Amino acid sequence: RRHTRFKCDWSSDVCSSDLLLGRRYMAAQSFSSPQGKFMAKERTFSIIKPDATRRNLTGAINAKIEGAGLRIVAQRRVKWKQADAKKFYAVHKARPFYKDLVKFMTSGPIVIQVLEGENAVAKYRQVMGATNPANAEAGTIRKEFAESIKANSVHGSDSPENAKKEIKMCFKAKDRKSTRLNSSHT
């Protein structure tokens, strides 16, 4: 094995070696809350979309994420090629907005993230708000920042299974070689 092995403890907030290896990371790990309570740990995949990076909203969106009690355990700013966006949104291939969505997602830099916390998938969907900002609840990211149903500022996985797939799809070989992805802070 050529990768670096980190000392790994599930009471810490993230285990880089597991994220890097793409294994074990979604299972029912647990961690201690600041009050010492044992909680179920989950991860979800997030994207800050081009409309948001263009308007310098990365920090404002991250503040919403962290304010909701989700921890940003991996983050990278990238620019997708057509093939990346097509692959990521393949589930929507048959939808009328697919081509436009791929064009939009490759129109500028995005920030890909792994978020961690109790009930991370459902919690982040709640913080994001409805797909169409017109229908999003007050205080949600999409209500406050989205421009339109297409340029709606963020993506979040819709199930733990898809979170696992999306994390694996977007954080892989490059990261596996790098030992610079942050490890625990707690």
Among residues 131, 135, 159, 186, the one that binds ligand ADP under rule CB under 6 A = 131
Closest residue to Mg ion: CB criterion: 158
Q: Which stretch binds ligand ADP (CB under 6 A): 6-14, 37-45, 59-67, 146-154?
A: 146-154
Identity at 167, one-letter amino acid code: I
Q: Does 155 qualify as catalytic in the annotation?
A: yes
Does 122 sit near ligand ADP (CB under 6 A)?
no
Report the partner that residue 164 touches, choosing among Mg ion, ligand ADP, none (CB closer than 5 to 8 A by kind): none
Token pair listed for 99: 């081509």
Give dist(CA 18, CA 26) in Å, integer: 10
Q: Give min distance, CB of 89 to Mg ion, in A.
A: 9
> Which string of x and - marks every residue 24-63 that binds ligand ADP (by CB under 6 A)?
----------------------------------------
- Smallest CA-to-CA distance from 57 within 141, 156, 143, 124 is with 141
List of long-range contacts for 77-85, beta carbons under 8 Å, 24+ apart? 77/53, 77/109, 77/110, 77/111, 78/109, 78/110, 78/111, 78/112, 79/106, 79/108, 79/109, 79/110, 80/105, 80/106, 80/110, 81/106, 82/106
Which residues in 144-183 contact Mg ion (CB under 5 A)? 158
Q: Give min distance, CB of 38 to Mg ion, in A.
A: 31
Identity at 180, one-letter amino acid code: R
Report the partner that residue 157 touches, choosing among ligand ADP, Mg ion, none (CB closer than 5 to 8 A by kind): none
Catalytic residues: 155
Residues near Mg ion (CB under 5 A):
158
Residues near ligand ADP (CB under 6 A):
92, 97, 101, 131, 149-150, 152, 155, 158
